[in-house]
Amino acid sequence: MYLYNSLSRKKEKFVPNDPSIVKMYTCGPTVYHYAHIGNLRTYIMEDVLEKALRYEGYNVKRVMNITDVGHLASDADTGEDKMVKGAKRENKTVMDIARYYTEAFQADCEKLNIKWPEVVEPATNCIDEYIEMVQKLLDTGKAYFVGGNVYFDTSTLEKYYVFNDHDEEDLATGVRDGVEEDTNKRNKNDFVLWFTKSKFEDQALKWDSPWGVGYPGWHIECSCISMKHLGEDLDIHCGGIDNAFPHHTNEIAQSESYLGHKWCNYWFHVRHLNSDSGKMSKSKGEFLTVSLLEKNGYDPMAYRLFCLQSHYRRNLVFSWENLDNAAAAYDKLIAKIATLRDEGGIEPMMFADLKKRFAKALEGDLNTSVAVTAVYDVLKAKTTDATKLALIADFDKVLCLNLLSAAENLRKKQAEEEAANADPEIDALVAARTEAKKAKNWAEADRIRDELKARGIEIIDTPQGAKWRKV
């Protein structure tokens, strides 16, 4: 498999540190509100990546954090804690908010067939690990304590801007444009490892530490949770493109300074889901959720297909028209699969050839749009229905669009409708029309069709024979 590595800015052949296991880390949600569908696009594509790796035969251990403390309104260590803000909004405790929205996020993942990682760790579970890392960074001169907070010193790094081409002179003392200056910082890109009560006197969650009562910075969470469960060598780190800077940049800085060696080999970033007005964001007020899509009559699988039809490294524009197109495509796809019958046996050579096309799409930097096209190639292929069904079942291990189960549900619904609308007289006329067509008595066939039409009956010719319905 070849993946685009954001760190090297090129496609690279994926080679895990240990052939027996792929260590994969995912930046989890800050659980102060519902996840919007832009957030969930990232998790869908990370889910596909994990399943594609498993499809290739890898054993994958995936870890994800739940941010329930420390994520400030600005990623640059300024503004109110997002969890505190959420608790105030709903007049609940921070932990009540965290539990509720963690469960809501998990429910959204289930609806979208996003596999829940093997390890999901709330940030509040790992205070001891954060303190240990901060202390070592202080001891080795990589961090400093001033004004009640512990900061990482970015000037100690050979290179800080690892995901972009900023001038290293930007590390000079100063502050980012538009961000309230923190005069304690030696360099403008230094970031907080540990806040004390000197930062927020009313912070809801605080712990004892060698530097005073306080709480961890956001960036240190992922480093410590990853190391706790995956060790010192990480294969793939995933997240949205907006996490690349400063969050992932800071993760690399503190992790490699702590470890003394390279930490993660591959960085997988998913681009934004945009609306007509730009990037989707909870800060803008109203935002779209999976539940809202369902209330508007959309199957969550239609949204998953919508995401799979585009490459993860391209910005995707959401509109109701675009979602309608995806929903229509999904319904048509399921309808075609529903016509297949498990007959004719599996043709090994045809199965292998079509499977190869699908695998090639995944191996080429997770090209899900081509992978979806491979499903249509199967449906059009001159092979047995049994072969087609086996291939669709195989492909759906990665796509996870409920293709066979949705098709089976459609067949059951159609059978129930047919049973409810059974009419021996109509059935006899439809059968007579079929016999007339076999005898090439077109005039009689047309007469019967016109008679049925006049009675409000539409005949539908299918590979399984003529069907009828009331119109």
What are φ and ψ of residue 252, in 5° steps? -65, -45
Query: Highest mean pLDDT range out of 134-143, 215-224, 415-424?
Result: 134-143
Residues 6 or more apart whose CB falls under 8 angstroms from that of 137 comprise 143, 150, 152, 193, 254, 257, 258
Reduced to 3 states, what is the DSSP secondary structure of residue 465?
Answer: strand
pLDDT in tens, 188-201: 999 999 998 665 56
pLDDT at 180: 57
For the chain, what is the mean pLDDT? 90
What are φ and ψ of residue 382, in 5° steps? -85, 80
Range of lowest pLDDT (151-155, 167-171, 424-428, 443-447):
167-171
Choose among 452, 454, 456: nearest CA to 436.
Answer: 452
Q: What percent of the chain has pLDDT over 70?
A: 90
Q: Which residue ranges form the domains of the chain, and what is each CATH number?
A: 2-270 (3.40.50.620), 283-409 (1.10.730.10), 422-470 (no CATH)
CA angle, 414 then 419 then 421, to 5°: 95
User: Residue 31 and residue 36: Cα distance in Å, rounded?
Assistant: 12
* Residues 327/296, Cβ–Cβ less than 8 Å: no
Q: Quick one: average pLDDT of 218-235? A: 97
Q: Quick one: average pLDDT of 8-37? A: 96
DSSP β-bridge partners for residue 214: 196, 207
pLDDT at 460: 83
Range of lowest pLDDT (55-59, 216-220, 303-307, 372-376):
216-220
Query: How many C-beta atoms lie closer than 10 Å to residue 355's C-beta?
Result: 16
pLDDT at 177: 41
Left (φ > 0), alpha (ψ -120 to 50) or beta: where does 347 sit?
A: beta
**0.85 cut: is pTM over it?**
yes
pLDDT in tens, 346-374: 999 999 999 999 999 999 999 999 999 99
Q: Quick one: average pLDDT of 95-103? A: 92
Residues 6 or more apart whose CB falls under 8 angstroms from that of 294 comprise 111, 300
* Residues 446/437, Cβ–Cβ less than 8 Å: no
